[in-house]
Amino acid sequence: MKIGMFDSGIGGINVLKEVMKKYPNQEYIYFGDTIHLPYGNKTKEQLMEFGTNIIRFFEEQQVDMIVIACGTCSGMVEEYQEKTDIPIYDIITPTVNYVKKNYRSVSLLATATTIEKGVFEKKLSNHGVQVYPLACPHFVPYLEGLNDQKLDMNRELQSLENKCYEAVILGCTHYPLLQKEIEQCLHVVSVDPGVCLADSIELKSESHFSLTIYMSELTSVLQSNVERILGYKVELIEKRLDYMITK
C-alpha cells in the first residue's frame, strides 16, 4: 500500500516513525510543508490551500491513503476529505478514542489554532472527559530551529500547575520531541497521537518497503533533525507545490 503523510515540518516524522514501526513493509511518501511552517498560526483559508495542494500532489503519486500527521490540520479532516476520493486519516480521532477509554481528565498541549478551534475539547467533553487546554506557540519554532532561544519548560507550562489531571495530550505532532521534558515538568504520563494512530489503523502485510521524504523548503538543520527522529540517514527532496485550487 502506498501511504501519503503530511505536516508543516518534522513533527509528522514522529507519526511516520510510529506507523513504519508497526507496518514496516509499506510504501511511504512524506511531505513536510516547511516553507509555510508553523501551521499553528495560519488561518483556516491558508490551511485549506496548503492542504489541498498537498492532496493534489498525493493524487499524482497515486497513494492509497492519506494521513494528516498534523494536529492543526486534523481538525479540518472533513473539509479535506471533500477534495479527494482517497481515504484520509487524522490524528485527533484515534487520540480521542484512546483518551476517552482511559482517562477522566487530561491537559492538552497544542498550537494556538487547535486550541482556538476546540476540536479535542468538544469531542472529549461529549464523553465526560475534563480537558485543560494550553496553547504552546513557542514549541514548534524552537524544534524547527527558527529561533535560538532556549525553552523554559516550567514557564511555558506554569498555568497547568494547579490543575488536576491524569495525563497530558501532545496535541501537536512536534511535541513528542519534547516528551521527556514535558512529562518531567507536569509529572504525568503523555499521550502521543502518532502511537494512537498507528494502533488504530490496519494495513495488509506487504513485501516491499520504500520511503520518500519531500520538503517544500530545505534548511540547514532539517536533514539532521529528520535523521535524529528516524535514527538513520535518509535523503530529503525539495519540492515546491504551485497548483491552482479549484473553488
Catalytic residues: 70, 172
DSSP, res 26: S
- Alpha helices for the chain (secondary structure H): 11-22, 44-60, 71-74, 77-81, 92-102, 112-117, 119-125, 139-143, 153-156, 179-186, 193-200, 222-230
Tell me how far apart the 2 most distant CA atoms of the chain are, in Å.
51
| Residue 164, C-alpha cell as written in the block | 488536576
CA atoms within 13 A of residue 45's CA, in its CB half-sphere: 1
User: What is the rounded (10 degree) CA torsion for 10, 43, 88, 225?
Assistant: 0
Peptide bond before 193: cis, by omega within 30 degrees of 0? no
Compute how many other C-beta atoms are within 10 angstroms of the C-beta atom of residue 71: 33
CA distance 213 to 46: 23
What is the DSSP annotation of 147-189? --PPP-HHHHTGGGTT---SEEEE-STTGGGGHHHHHHHHTSE
Residue type at 133 in one-letter notation: P
